[in-house]
Amino acid sequence: MTNHVLRIDASARHDDSVSRKLADKVIDKLSPATVTKRDLSTPLPLIDSTWIGANFTPVDDRTDEQKATLALSDTLIAEIEAADTLVIGLPIYNFAVPSTFKAWVDLVARAGVTFRYTENGPEGLLKGKRAILAVASGGTEVGSDYDFATGYARHMLGFMGITDVSVVAADRLMIDPDASHKTANDQIENLAA
């Protein structure tokens, strides 16, 4: 049962965004008690040398300035930790994820916080969560050799421990919009609440 959804919208569009409309339908299907929203249309800051320096300074040694530098990242990670399910409205831009989604990933993929390295390789620390990617594309077929968005999103979520990832896709909208919407709606209908 999904009690708390973290909704992440990566589309620069609003009213006419297919990925946002798909995310709406997914959340309606899940009927969660709580929805936390993170809209990436207002871009997040990119990581820089100051952020990297703060991130790799041991927690007990961080200055107040370094703690402030990491505050947004800490908030974004806390949003994931609080959620049972992530619903990510993910358009495909130029065969890949929007830069705003990549900026979000860079801020939440933190060694020792959301993943760690072990003698057996990396281990994700955000286990026991589910993610649903609500994907929209004009011409890119989801799962094709030139879809660099869904594979990347799956990989990064899995790297952080979220391995239960479903895809709802309205892809190739510029080629056959009716079929694309029907396929996505059928996939949403078949999602387990």
Residue 85, pLDDT score: 97
Residues 87 and 19 sit within 8 Å (Cβ to Cβ): no
Other C-beta atoms within 10 Å of 2: how many? 20
Q: Categorize the per-residue pLDDT at 1 as very low, low, confident or very high, splitting at 50, 70 and 90.
A: low
Give 111-164 pLDDT, tens digit per residue: 999 999 999 999 999 999 999 999 999 999 999 999 999 999 999 999 999 999
Alpha helices by DSSP H, listed for the chain, are 18-30, 49-55, 64-69, 71-82, 99-108, 150-159, 177-189
The answer to whether 17 is annotated as binding is yes
- CA–CA separation, 89 vs 22, rounded Å? 7
The answer to whether 11 is annotated as binding is yes
Domains within the chain, CATH numbers bracketed: 4-189 (3.40.50.360)
The answer to whether 99 is annotated as binding is no
Cβ neighbors of 55 (< 8 A, separation 6 or more) are 47, 70, 73, 110
Q: What is the DSSP track for 116-152?
A: EEETTEEEES--S-EEEEEEE-SSPPTTSTT--SHHH
Strands 130-136 and 85-91, bridge-based pairing: parallel
The answer to whether 19 is annotated as binding is yes
pTM for this one? 0.95
